Amino acid sequence: MEGKPIAINRHKEVPAIQTAGLNKIYPNGTHAVKDITLNVNRTDFVVIIGSSGAGKSSLLRCMNRLVRPTSGAMSLFGDDITQVTGGRLRQVRRKVGMIFQQFHLVRRLTVLENVLVGRLRFNRSPLRLSMSLMRSFTKAEKVVAFESLKQVGIADLAFQRADTLSGGQQQRVAIARALAQEPQVFLADEPIASLDPHSAETVMQTLQDIHETRGIPVLVNLHHIDFARRYGKRIVGMRKGALVLDTIPPNLDDDAIADVYGARIEEAYGKFDACA
C-alpha cells in the first residue's frame, strides 16, 4: 500500500540526464572530460561556460552519445546509456536533439525537406535523398515538421532552398530539424558563435521558448557571459575538463568567472565574434 506513491514520486524525480564520475579520454591521450558528476533536471535551462578546450563540446557529445565515454556512468531519464550501441544508441540520439555552431543543412534541399530529414531517424543518409523525398513522409510527419518551423518562426520560408537563408535563419532550420525528432532533451553546442548579435538573440529566445513551451531541459554551450547570465537558469562552468562551477546567474560574480576562465578571463567578456 505504501509502495505505490513512493514509486511515483521517485519516477518524477529521475533526472533527465545524470552523469557520475564521467571521463572522456581521446585516443591521443587528451583527457577532455574529467570526473564529471552532474544531474540535469527536466526544468533546467543550463548554460555551460568555459574557455576553448575546456571540454564543453566533449561533455555535450557524451550526452547524446556522439562520443563514447571512457569511464563513469551516464543515464537518460534513468536508463543507463553509457555504452549503448546499435538500435539503443539510435534511440538515445532521437531522444536528445542537438544543434551545432555550423548548421549542417543540406544546402540544395528546401527548408521543409531539411526539417523532415530530422524524422529520418538516422536510418538513411540525407545525401542519398532525391526529389522523391517529400513523398516518403506521412502527412503526420509533415504536420510535425510544419509545427517545428512555426515554433522557430520561419514557417513562411518552408519552400525556400536552405542556401538562400541568412545564418540566423539557417540555425533556426537546424533547431526545427532537431525539434521534428520530438526530443526529450535539447543540446546546443555554441549555437550563436557564428551569428551577428541580433540573430544570436533570436536563436537564444527560440531555445528559451522551446524549453518553456515543451517543458524539456536545454543545455547550451556558450562563450559569452552576458548571454549566459540572461538566458541561463543555471550556469555550469568547466575548466580543463573538470566541473568547477554550478550556480545560478545572480551568483555569477567576478570570482566565479575567474574560477572558470583563470588567466583567460578576457575570453568571458570577449568581443562578440560576429561573422554575418
Ligand X SMILES: Nc1ncnc2c1ncn2[C@@H]1O[C@H](COP(=O)(O)OP(=O)(O)O)[C@@H](O)[C@H]1O
- Residues forming the site for ligand X (CB under 6 A): 26, 28, 30, 32, 50, 52-58
- The enclosing H or E element of 257 equals helix 254-261
Residues 100, 190: Cα–Cα separation, whole Å: 6
Under the criterion CB under 5 A, does residue 184 sit at the interface with Mg ion? Answer: no
58 binds, among ligand X, Mg ion, none (CB under 5 to 8 A by kind): ligand X
Q: How far is the CB of 201 from ligand X (least distance, A)?
A: 22
Q: How far is the CB of 268 from ligand X (least distance, A)?
A: 13
- Angle 45-215-13 from CA coordinates, rounded to 5°: 80
Q: Which is nearer to ligand X, 165 or 238 (CB)?
A: 238
- Is the separation of the CB atoms in 220 and 171 below 8 Å? no
Q: Which is nearer to ligand X, 55 or 217 (CB)?
A: 55
Q: Which is nearer to Mg ion, 57 or 114 (CB)?
A: 57
Q: How far is the CB of 58 from ligand X (least distance, A)?
A: 3
- Is the separation of the CB atoms in 210 and 151 below 8 Å? yes
Helix 197-214 to helix 139-151 angle, to the nearest 10 degrees?
120
Give the residue at shortest CB distance from Mg ion. 57
52 binds, among ligand X, Mg ion, none (CB under 5 to 8 A by kind): ligand X
Q: How many helices and strands (H and E) does the chain possess? A: 10, 10
- Interface pick for Mg ion out of 19, 51, 57, 64 (rule CB under 5 A): 57
3-state secondary structure 154-171: CHHHCCCEHHHCCHHHHH
Q: How far is the CB of 34 from ligand X (least distance, A)?
A: 10
Rg (alpha carbons) of the chain, rounded to whole number: 19
Q: Which is nearer to Mg ion, 20 or 67 (CB)?
A: 67
Q: How far is the CB of 51 from Mg ion (least distance, A)?
A: 10
Q: Which is nearer to ligand X, 33 or 175 (CB)?
A: 33
- Is the separation of the CB atoms in 234 and 45 below 8 Å? yes
Letter string b/e over residues 169-186, b meaning 16 or more CB atoms within 10 A of that residue's CB: bbbbbbbbbbbbbbbbbb
Q: Helices (DSSP H) in 96-166: which residue ranges? A: 111-117, 139-151
How many residues at the interface with Mg ion, by CB under 5 A? 2
Window contacting Mg ion (CB under 5 A); options: 52-60, 61-69, 141-149, 173-181: 52-60
C-alpha cell at 101: 555552431
Q: How far is the CB of 35 from ligand X (least distance, A)?
A: 15
125 binds, among ligand X, Mg ion, none (CB under 5 to 8 A by kind): none
Q: How far is the CB of 61 from ligand X (least distance, A)?
A: 7
Under the criterion CB under 5 A, does residue 19 sit at the interface with Mg ion? Answer: no
Interface residue list for Mg ion (CB under 5 A): 56-57
